[in-house]
A and B are shown apart, each in its own frame.
Chain A
Amino acid sequence: AQTVTQSQPEMSVQEAETVTLSCTYDTSENNYYLFWYKQPPSRQMILVIRQEAYKQQNATENRFSVNFQKAAKSFSLKISDSQLGDTAMYFCAFMTLYGNKLVFGAGTILRVKS
């Protein structure tokens, strides 16, 4: 069974600075998908970024980028130029290539301070 571990329950960052959220996972699969979802105080889950394991290039979406290390089974999220609106709970998630279910980590609460 796949597992996803987020070892940072809470983090804080100053506005405009950069922060990295950690995520590791365990799987015996070779091809799969990894995701970062954001859940702001409204509790609406928002897809931040997606990575296909068969792609070596790290995914980027504007201020959000990932550092995907397949051999180490690590998938960290870097947020550059942090904004107050980035304050949220961030979930790392895993899904097998032909799978159905998302496996979520426990989440990291990120607070951006002004």
Chain B
Amino acid sequence: GAVVSQHPSWVICKSGTSVKIECRSLDFQATTMFWYRQFPKQSLMLMATSNEGSKATYEQGVEKDKFLINHASLTLSTLTVTSAHPEDSSFYICSARDGGNVETQYFGPGTRLLVL
């Protein structure tokens, strides 16, 4: 149980285009999902907290117009990187909190984004 999927796992795009990453909780309902960014050999940096049916809460320094988050259902959150630039290249990870087990976050496998 407690499986979180991400799609795509790997994406290459041209500078200036937008990229959408999906995060799904497969066997539980997630009222809260989280989006992280990770650079090689570094820790996870929380970008935003996504709550079902409401606006996401962004961490300080994260541009909400750049990283659009939508949490339209209890099993799906999406992160859209708008007008991507090479500096947006990174590993993006989502996690979901099980409503019945709120202290534990389950992580997706991550999405590697390369902007050319």
- Interchain CB contact under 8 A, B42 and A106: yes
Interface string of B95-116 (1 = CB under 8 A from A): 1010000011111011000000
Chain A contact residues, majority secondary structure? strand
* B32 proximity list for chain A (CB < 8 A): 100
* Cβ of A95 under 8 Å from chain B: yes
- Interchain CB contact under 8 A, B91 and A102: no
* Cβ of B34 under 8 Å from chain A: yes
Closest Cβ of chain B to A45, distance in Å, is 4
Interface string of A86-114 (1 = CB under 8 A from B): 00010100010000111011110100000
Size of interface on B: residues with Cβ below 8 Å to A = 20
* B110 proximity list for chain A (CB < 8 A): 43-44
CA distance A47 to B103 in the complex (A): 12
- 29 A-B pairs, CB-CB below 8 angstroms? A33-B103, A37-B107, A43-B38, A43-B91, A43-B93, A43-B110, A44-B107, A44-B110, A45-B44, A45-B93, A45-B95, A47-B104, A50-B104, A52-B103, A89-B41, A91-B43, A100-B32, A100-B49, A100-B97, A101-B34, A102-B44, A102-B95, A102-B105, A104-B43, A105-B43, A106-B42, A106-B43, A107-B41, A107-B42
Chain A residues with CB under 8 Å of chain B are: 33, 35, 37, 42-47, 50, 52, 89, 91, 95, 100-102, 104-107, 109
